[in-house]
């Protein structure tokens, strides 16, 4: 005679575990975290790129004498605001990705 599906002690059918979970507790935690992450993104958040905001942000690091060039002093302040050491390799990567023609300087075009 064929067996019926396995039942838990309470008589309810067993719950399938999600991939990457090993226990029902992990499974329920995973389901909760998955559901809560969708609520994190509110409609009021504007995550799209804004050229105007980017230009305003760039101007915070330039000087009055050279408003179209972010120089060493501006780079130092930029690094400080990001909590990154100016000699960190990440700054080299940013310069490369931005297409900087001169080390330690960013133009408004770049």
| pLDDT tens track for 49-83 | 888 888 888 899 888 888 889 998 999 999 999 89
Measure CA of the first residue to CA of the last residue in the chain; give whole Å: 75
Q: Write down the pTM of the prediction.
A: 0.50
Report the C-alpha gap between 5 and 104 in whole angstroms: 68
Domain count, the chain: 1
Query: Is residue 23 in some structural domain?
Result: no
Answer yes or no: is pLDDT of 34 > 60: no
Position of tokens 């004498």? 65
7-to-4, 24, 28, 44, 82 alpha-carbon distances in Å: 9, 14, 18, 46, 55
Is 79 within a domain? yes
Residue 55's domain is classified under what CATH number? 1.10.238.10
Residue 69 lies in a domain: yes
Residue 26 within a domain = no
For 16-92, list the strands marked E by DSSP: 69-70
Residue-range definition of the domain harbouring residue 95: 51-107
Q: Where are the beta strands (DSSP E) in 3-110?
A: 69-70, 106-107
Do 13 and 5 contact (CB within 8 A), yes or no? yes
- Residue at 19 is within a domain: no
Q: Quote the pLDDT of residue 88.
A: 92
């Amino acid at each position: 005679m064929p067996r019926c599906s396995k039942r838990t002690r309470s008589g309810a059918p067993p719950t399938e575990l999600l991939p990457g979970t090993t226990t029902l507790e992990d499974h329920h935690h995973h389901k909760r975290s998955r559901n809560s992450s969708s609520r994190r993104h509110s409609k009021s958040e504007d995550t799209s790129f804004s050229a105007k905001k980017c230009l305003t942000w760039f101007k915070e690091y330039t000087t009055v004498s050279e408003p179209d060039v972010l120089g060493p002093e501006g780079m130092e302040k930029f690094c400080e605001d990001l909590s990154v050491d100016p000699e960190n390799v990440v700054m080299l990567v940013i310069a490369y990705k931005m297409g900087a023609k001169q080390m330690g300087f960013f133009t408004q075009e770049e």
